[in-house]
Structure formats: structure tokens, C-alpha cells
């Protein structure tokens, strides 16, 4: 059962967090709107879509992304203020151990952690889909891909020279069909290929098809300017998708997507795995940063609140740097992604315990 002390600290914790979250998100929206307004006006984006499809999703995405760091700053802010108002000392003088004062902090961190977990795994994929759809329609730059290569299921190898999203066509398209012995069974080339949206139907222009193997070896050459309609086992969006598409997928869908991309030999596997594992590791950072923030800010210093905030922000930047270093290591040098996303939490968790043990009691 929550005591008066618990309710007092938890209320301060949550009120400070949501106040700071609101202020930061409003400022972020203002800066983003100032940058995007010209695109919105030029492409005649509806006000309703701007508010509900873009900025509502914007707030949910970035608010949840930065919530652990906002938690950290919030804890330092209200705890330092309590320390300067000499509220911490009477709590300790009343006979309560330091761990008893820490309890409501951990309860508050648990509330925020559970909210973040639910957002990451269930809500964000939906809102991110709306946000990305809006971006594609109203202000995304033209997407271009060159020298694409991938291996698809059923022993199919696909590569093409170039693709531009504004033209909606693939140039220099090649499809190899191999057997289980990795021998080429058929080869299809097309100067230009288009895919009917939402289907496996393709239109091939200036095509060349060769079937290998005696006695069925044969060649089919399409007439110049004459198109052939055919069905392939994949859509254009699978070949020419943005890396951020993984943000729109739920847990099981990401797992299946990663498994498929591994078969294709995609170079972006670490990036996709980091997105998957961070959905769990980020919420648990609330515990680590709450512990560090409380231990730092609970002591009354001559520099006042500013000194505690400065110390906290310094640790926050180090934490962000550690996350970036481990992510780069996973993407570029083969460091395991699930370890990379948890290392900052483990290291700063150890640091938090050390600072907690050293805090005046």
C-alpha cells in the first residue's frame, strides 16, 4: 500500500515528467513545422492529415523515443529541488533508510517503463505507418536505388541497375531462377520493369528470356516496344523499400521480415535487429537513469539545482554516446545486436549502483 511519502514523490515524478515531455514536444513540433511548412503548402496537405496523421504520430514517436532521457532530467530536476528545499534530510532523519526513499522512484519508473513497452510493441507500429504514409505523399524526397542485388526464396536471384520512386520503374531488371544445386534454370532480362501496385503482376519491356538445359534450351526475345505481363513472387515495394519500413512492423512481423532479409543477403540486418531489440531495452533504461538521477540529485550542493542538472546532462550525453558507439559496432563490425542495445543499460546500471552506494545517507 502506498504511503504519503510514496504518493508525494510519485506525483512529483510523473507531473514533472509529463510537463517536460509536453514542453519538449511542443518545441520540437514548432521547429519541425517551420521546416516542413513550405512542403505542406506546396503539396496541399490537408490540415486534418497534418494534425492527426503526422503530428500526432510525431509526438508519440519522438516522445517515446526520448522518454528515458526526459525521465532522467525530470528526476534530477524535482529531486534537486527537494534537496535544496531541505526535504530529503528530514526523510532520512525520520529513520527511513535511503532505499525506502528510492522505492517510490522505482514505482514511478515502472509506470513509465510499462507505458513505453506498450507503446513500442503495440501502438508505435500503427502510428509510424500513418506518419510514413503521410511523408511519402507530402514531402519525402525522391527515393532512388542503384545496383540492387538480393536472393529471394525459391532460389530466385534479383538484381537491377536503377530505380526512382517518382518514375515507378526499374531499369536493367534481371531475374535468375536456380535449382537446388545452384545451377541456372532460366534467365530473364528486361530493359524496363513495372509492378502493378498491391499485386505480383509485372510489365516487362524489351525482355529476353533464356531457359537452360538440354534438350529444352531455348531463347525468347520480345519485340522492341512490346510489353509482356507476367507474375513474379514478389512486389516492387520489397525491392525498393525504405529502411524505416521496419518501424511500422509489430514484433512477429519484424522477426519474419529479418528472416526474409537474411535469405536475401541484405546488408541492413543489424539495423533491423537494433530496432527490434531497442523496443525492449529502451523502456528498461528508465530504471537505470532514475537510479542515477536520484542518487546524484539527492545531495544538497553549493551550486544549487544547476550543478546537479549539469552533472546529469553530462551523464546523459555519455549515455547517448555509448548507445551510438554500440549501435555503430553492431552495424559495421558484426557486434551482436542484442548485446549492443543492452550494454549501455548494463554499464550505466553498474554506475548507478556505485553512485547510489556513495550517496550521502
Contact 268, 276 (CB under 8 A): no
What is the C-alpha to C-alpha distance for residues 273 and 258, in angstroms, rounded to an integer? 7
pLDDT in tens, 25-52: 999 999 999 988 888 888 889 999 999 9
pLDDT of residue 359 exceeding 80, the answer is no
Contact 156, 233 (CB under 8 A): yes
- pLDDT class of 281 with cuts at 50, 70, 90: very high
Q: Please write down the long-range contacts of 332-341, taking CB distance under 8 Å and 24 or more positions apart.
A: 334/270, 337/270, 337/273, 337/274, 337/276, 337/277, 338/273, 338/277, 340/274, 341/274, 341/277, 341/278, 341/281
Quote the Cα angle for 226-227-232, to 5°: 155
Quote the Cα angle for 41-47-48, to 5°: 150
Identify the CA nearest to 159 among candidates 238, 23, 151, 265.
151
Cβ neighbour number for residue 175 with a 10 Å cutoff: 23
286 Cβ contact list (under 8 Å, min separation 6): 67, 68, 71, 109, 110, 112, 113, 116
According to DSSP, residue 249 is labeled -
pLDDT in tens, 288-313: 999 999 988 887 666 566 777 777 77
CA atoms within 13 A on the CB side of 322: 18
pLDDT of residue 233 exceeding 70, the answer is yes
Q: What are phi and psi of 195, to 5 degrees?
A: -115, 130
Domain ranges of the chain: 4-139+268-358, 144-241
Global pTM reads 0.83
Distance of CA 331 to the CA centre of its chain: 14
Identify the CA nearest to 352 among candidates 295, 311, 309.
295
What is the C-alpha to C-alpha distance for residues 192 and 173, in angstroms, rounded to an integer? 7
Tell me the mean pLDDT in the region 194-206.
87
Quote the Cα angle for 49-54-60, to 5°: 135
Give buried/exposed letters for 254-286 (b at 16+ CB in 10 A, else e). beebbeebeebebeebbbbbbbbbbbbbbbbbb
Cβ neighbour number for residue 124 with a 10 Å cutoff: 22
Quote the Cα angle for 82-86-87, to 5°: 55
Most confident of 94-103, 158-167, 223-232, 285-294: 285-294
More confident residue, 350 or 308: 350
pLDDT of residue 120 exceeding 90, the answer is yes
**Region of 304 on the Ramachandran plot (φ > 0 left; ψ -120 to 50 alpha; else beta):** left
What is the C-alpha to C-alpha distance for residues 303 and 346, in angstroms, rounded to an integer? 30
Amino acid at each position: 500500500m502506498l504511503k504519503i511519502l510514496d504518493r508525494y514523490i510519485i506525483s512529483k515524478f510523473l507531473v514533472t515528467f509529463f510537463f517536460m515531455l509536453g514542453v519538449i514536444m511542443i518545441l520540437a513540433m514548432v521547429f519541425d513545422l517551420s521546416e516542413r511548412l513550405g512542403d505542406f503548402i506546396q503539396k496541399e496537405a490537408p490540415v486534418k492529415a497534418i494534425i492527426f496523421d503526422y503530428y500526432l504520430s510525431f509526438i508519440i514517436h519522438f516522445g517515446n523515443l526520448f522518454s528515458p532521457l526526459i525521465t532522467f532530467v525530470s528526476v534530477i530536476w524535482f529531486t534537486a529541488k527537494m534537496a535544496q528545499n531541505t526535504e530529503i534530510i528530514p526523510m532520512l532523519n525520520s529513520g527511513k533508510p535511503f532505499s525506502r526513499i528510492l522505492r517510490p522512484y522505482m514505482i514511478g519508473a515502472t509506470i513509465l517503463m510499462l507505458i513505453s513497452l506498450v507503446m513500442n510493441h503495440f501502438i508505435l507500429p500503427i502510428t509510424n505507418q500513418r506518419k510514413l504514409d503521410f511523408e511519402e505523399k507530402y514531402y519525402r524526397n525522391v527515393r532512388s536505388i542503384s545496383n540492387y542485388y538480393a536472393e529471394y526464396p525459391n532460389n530466385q536471384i534479383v538484381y537491377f541497375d536503377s530505380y526512382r520512386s517518382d518514375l515507378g520503374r526499374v531499369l536493367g531488371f534481371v531475374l535468375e531462377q536456380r535449382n537446388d544445386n545452384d545451377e541456372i534454370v532460366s534467365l530473364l532480362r528486361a530493359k524496363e520493369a513495372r509492378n502493378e501496385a498491391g499485386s505480383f503482376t509485372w510489365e516487362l519491356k524489351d525482355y529476353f528470356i533464356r531457359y537452360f538445359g538440354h534438350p529444352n534450351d531455348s531463347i525468347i526475345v520480345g519485340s522492341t516496344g512490346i510489353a509482356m505481363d507476367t507474375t513474379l513472387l514478389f512486389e516492387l515495394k520489397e525491392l525498393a523499400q525504405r529502411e524505416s519500413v521496419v518501424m511500422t512492423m509489430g514484433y512477429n512481423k519484424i522477426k519474419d521480415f529479418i528472416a526474409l532479409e537474411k535469405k536475401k543477403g541484405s546488408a541492413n540486418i543489424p539495423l533491423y535487429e537494433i530496432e527490434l531489440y531497442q523496443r525492449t531495452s529502451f523502456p528498461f533504461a528508465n530504471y537505470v537513469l532514475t537510479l542515477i538521477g536520484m542518487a546524484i540529485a539527492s545531495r544538497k550542493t553549493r551550486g544549487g539545482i544547476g550543478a546537479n542538472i549539469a552533472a546529469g546532462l553530462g551523464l546523459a550525453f555519455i549515455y547517448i554516446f555509448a548507445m551510438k558507439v554500440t549501435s555503430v559496432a553492431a552495424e559495421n563490425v558484426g557486434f551482436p545486436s542484442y548485446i549492443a542495445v543492452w550494454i549501455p543499460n548494463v554499464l550505466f546500471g553498474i554506475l548507478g549502483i556505485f553512485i547510489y552506494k556513495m550517496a550521502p545517507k
